[in-house]
Structure 1
Amino acid sequence: MQIRTLLLAALISTPMMSLAAEKIVVINAISDSGIGPIIGVIKFSDSDKGLIVDPDIGTLTPGEHGFHIHEKPNCGVAEKDGKKVAGLAAGGHFDPAKSSKHEGPEGHGHHGDLPALQVNEDGSATRAMLAPRLKLADVTGRAIMIHEGGDNYSDDPKPLGGGGARVACGVIE
């Protein structure tokens, strides 16, 4: 993990701090046992083209990961079909229009889709991205979720892009 992440995480005594028109959110690993250690931070800020999402995260598996805004500001475990599920307390993807469609960050489906998170061979993710249909006000009071696998921005062949289990999360306060 980069030094800037360690310094930011050490300075943040709450899950998030806000600075003018930006928010910095602490990201924790999650599992069916609950919320685990801090693995990085994500800075959110508005631009005239949409929401800038700037991660500084480590210890993820290399490759592409599904990356979404979820409805509820909770990264905890919840039960589904009698089993504990990591991050399920965050609810589903942010979908203010109730479209129930997964069409990617520029599609006409739900607004929770972000560009896929690209993780380097060393397990770090540091490439900023743009969510053109979102603003900081839209994501405040929600959760940011990282899934174990990639995202095809479709509900076929698997629902919600096929990203699989939820592996990391942060609350955007």
Structure 2
Amino acid sequence: MKPKMLVIASLLSTSALMASTGFADEPLSIDLYQATEDGQGSPIGDVTFEDTQYGLLITPSLKNLTPGEHGWHVHERPDCGPATKDGEKTAAAAAGSHYDPQKKGAHKGPYHSDGHLGDLPALFVADDGQATRSVLAPRLEAADLHGRALVVHEGGDNYSDDPKALGGGGARVACGVIQAP
């Protein structure tokens, strides 16, 4: 077989393998913005999602966040606008609750099958306000994300509903809408 034909055959078999395993040809990328009580704020970067054989690889390229650990989750609705929650106007509350299609009703983190599917591994922000460390969400795939929102919370996440509900991450500080391709 000629070298050109070998390259073409190799590319075709790789594409067929990717299609048969369900992995997307192109990673999904969304923009994230500061979440404010008045709506969408300034852009803070983007997040890329890519299916792998081990789950969903999530790669942030974010800036202007408070250093430290942050909880972040896939939320049920594709809306980052403010909404009234408990009588107060709340940033990104229109995104709704953590994505929980199986109605588990518990916040147990990304590795526990009895919790919300939208629970993600922690987002780590460096001292310079940038987040670039990839994480792996083993129970998710890119197809689960369409028509949802990605929300970053003010504080860390203890992957529990105790002592505070939903991991205790606090206010929603950033949000991005995930649209179907």
User: With structure 2 as the length reference, what TM-score do the two structures score?
Assistant: 0.84
Q: For 1:90 and 1:20, how far apart are their aligned partners in 2?
A: 28
SS at match of 1:125: coil
- Considering fraction of residues, name the structure with more helix: 2
Question: Displacement, 1:22?
Answer: 1.5
In structure 1, the partner of 2:9 is none
Which structure 1 residue ranges, 4+ long, deviate > 4 Å from structure 2? none
Is 1:95–1:110's contact at 8 Å kept on the other side of the alignment?
yes
In structure 2, the partner of 1:118 is 124
Q: For 1:123 and 1:75, how far apart are their aligned partners in 2?
A: 22
Q: For 1:126 and 1:92, how far apart are their aligned partners in 2?
A: 25
Alignment of 1:1-40 (within 5 A): 20-40=25-45
Question: Displacement, 1:76?
Answer: 0.4
Unaligned runs of 5+ in 1: 1-18
User: With structure 1 as the length reference, what TM-score do the two structures score?
Assistant: 0.87
Aligned pair count reads 155
Which of 103, 109, 118 is 1:104 aligned to? Answer: 109
Is 1:21–1:46's contact at 8 Å kept on the other side of the alignment?
no
Q: For 2:61 and 2:93, how far apart are their aligned partners in 1?
A: 24
- Considering fraction of residues, name the structure with more strand: 1
Question: Displacement, 1:151?
Answer: 0.2
Residues 18-38 of structure 1 show CA distances to partners (whole Å, capped at 9, x for unaligned) of x83311100000111211010
Alignment of 1:1-173 (within 5 A): 20-107=25-112, 108-173=114-179
Residues 73-127 of structure 1 show CA distances to partners (whole Å, capped at 9, x for unaligned) of 0100001233110000000000011001111100121101100100000000000
Q: For 2:149 and 2:177, how far apart are their aligned partners in 1?
A: 4
In structure 2, the partner of 1:13 is none
Identity of aligned residues (%): 56
Q: For 1:82 and 1:154, how far apart are their aligned partners in 2?
A: 25
Q: CA RMSD in A?
A: 1.0
Unaligned runs of 5+ in 2: 1-23
- Residue 52 of structure 1 aligns to which amino acid in structure 2? L
In structure 1, the partner of 2:19 is none
Q: For 1:21 and 1:141, how far apart are their aligned partners in 2?
A: 18
Q: For 2:76 and 2:178, how far apart are their aligned partners in 1?
A: 11
Is 1:143–1:170's contact at 8 Å kept on the other side of the alignment?
yes
